[in-house]
Amino acid sequence: AQKITQTQPGMFVQEKEAVTLDCTYDTSDQSYGLFWYKQPSSGEMIFLIYQGSYDEQNATEGRYSLNFQKARKSANLVISASQLGDSAMYFCAMREGRNAGNMLTFGGGTRLMVKP
């Protein structure tokens, strides 16, 4: 079974509007971390936001917020006031367990295109 599922291969959003990128995950661990990264065409991975499984509040970082619904195992990324520069690939990722060495597992990604 896929550990991280992103069901939207591509999304369009109008500039200045908000957009939600979906992410569901699968783990039996009680302690885990969820991440969102942005990957522009240059290929670099830009960290956006992190949510720990024990965090009671939804994470927010500027225009990014994470809608964490633990019972549903979903961790959707909300981008408010979209900008043209937000056009990129977005990846949801998960780290399982408390071990500092644990790797990130990535979802398939969503390509976001912001229309002027």
Partner 1 sequence: GAVVSQHPSRVICKSGTSVKIECRSLDFQATTMFWYRQFPKQSLMLMATSNEGSKATYEQGVEKDKFLINHASLTLSTLTVTSAHPEDSSFYICSARDLINKAGYTFGSGTRLTVV
Find the shortest distance in angstroms from Cβ 9 to partner 1.
9
C-alpha–C-alpha distance, residues 17 and 13, integer Å: 7
42 binds partner 1 (CB under 8 A): yes
Helix (H) or strand (E) holding 112: strand 110-115
Q: How far is the CB of 100 from partner 1 (least distance, A)?
A: 6
Of 47 and 54, which CB lies nearer to partner 1 in the complex structure? 47
CB burial of 46-56 (b: ≥16 within 10 Å; e: otherwise) equals eebbebebeee
Instruction: Compute how many residues bind partner 1; rule: CB under 8 A.
Output: 19
Q: Which is nearer to partner 1, 3 or 73 (CB)?
A: 3
